[in-house]
Amino acid sequence: MKVWTVVNQKGGVGKTTSTISIAGSLSAQGYKVLLLDLDPHASLTYYLGFDAENLTSSLYDVFCQTPSEPFDIKQALQATKIKNVGLLPSHIALSTLDKRFGTAPGKGLVIKKALEQLGSQFDIAIIDCPPVLGVLMVNGLVAANAIVVPTQTEYLALRGLDRMLQTLEQLKPTLQDEVLTLVVATLFDRRVNACLASYTKMRDNYKAHMWRGYIPVDTKFRDASQQGLPINMIVKDSRGAFAYDKLTNELLKYAA
Ligand SMILES: Nc1ncnc2c1ncn2[C@@H]1O[C@H](COP(=O)(O)OP(=O)(O)OP(=O)(O)O)[C@@H](O)[C@H]1O
Ligand SMILES: [Mg+2]
């Protein structure tokens, strides 16, 4: 199983939207996909129709296990309405982990090890990270074969991207050797000058990591989230669905 981690220290840039949209695209192509919601806000979990506060098991249990009381990750697994897509849901208690574990050794490997238990049940796992550098994000990054960094095409988001890439550089010794890092321009509106300027700057400054396409602003994403489904299951021929299909194919080419 390959692991794709969707991450950015900046909030609201399209991480959760990218996670669900890539999953939709993979599902349509027949892949078995496991989604992990590592954000204590549980946006992805709610998106998929689960009430994160009332689930009996979640990714939190994976972090709380001990050698004498191991937790089988399969216990937290939920089936979703999307064909061949499973979910390991979030819980608000995930927000307490930084305080509890801080920089405790080995705590960055919890998710990587837990995924190894699943063997070949899924083809690709996609991890949705919180916009906070801490134990959860580190766990997502350490497990990754590909790191997808959605970046909104606007001035402030570019500063956030600098910070995120610095973080990746600092963590490099703990990341997988062949990890692919792909910066993805999101919420792009070609009619808006500020968007165009940011997009051009991104392509100039981050050439080594930039995906050549972009994700356009598309109101169909809102319709999709209202229905708890990926955009390609709502409007297959929308610009947004088409863009995420292209991104998914790029990831399949280099990290599957
Ligand atoms: N390409 C797009 N076109 C239109 N709306 C979008 C697009 N991408 C994301 N959105 C909307 O922008 C909002 C933020 O997106 P999303 O929740 O995916 O960001 P996020 O990075 O996961 O945020 P957070 O950091 O809070 O977890 C959502 O309302 C989502 O529907
Ligand atoms: Mg999110």
Q: Give the CATH number of the domain where residue 47 resides.
A: 3.40.50.300
Cα 240 to Cα 39: distance, rounded to the nearest angstrom: 24
Number of structural domains found in the chain: 1
pLDDT at 130 over 80: yes
Span 164-180, mean pLDDT? 95
Q: Which residues line ligand 1 (CB under 6 A)?
A: 11-17, 39, 43, 131, 186-187, 215, 217-218, 221-222, 225, 240
pLDDT at 154 over 80: yes
Res. 106 pLDDT band, cuts 50 70 90? confident
Cα 11 to Cα 4: distance, rounded to the nearest angstrom: 19
Mean pLDDT of the chain: 95
Give buried/exposed letters for 74-85 (b at 16+ CB in 10 A, else e): eebbbebebebb
User: Which stretch of 6-20, 75-89, 98-112, 120-134 has the lowest confidence by average pLDDT?
Assistant: 98-112
* Ligand 1 midpoint to CA 20 (Å): 11
Span 14-36, mean pLDDT? 98
Q: How far is CA 138 from CA 68, 97, 147, 243, in A?
A: 25, 12, 12, 28
Residue nearest to atom 29 of ligand 1 (CA): 222
Whether the CB-CB separation of 25 and 147 falls below 8 Å is answered with: no
Q: Which residues contact 107 (CB under 8 A, 6 or more apart)?
A: 63, 97, 101, 135, 139
Domain range enclosing 149: 2-255
Span 199-219, mean pLDDT? 95
Res. 101 pLDDT band, cuts 50 70 90? confident
Whether the CB-CB separation of 22 and 145 falls below 8 Å is answered with: no
Residue spans of alpha helices (H) in 48-192:
59-64, 97-101, 110-116, 135-142, 155-171
* Ligand 1 midpoint to CA 15 (Å): 7
State the CB neighbour count (10 A cutoff) for residue 181: 18
Whether the CB-CB separation of 140 and 40 falls below 8 Å is answered with: no
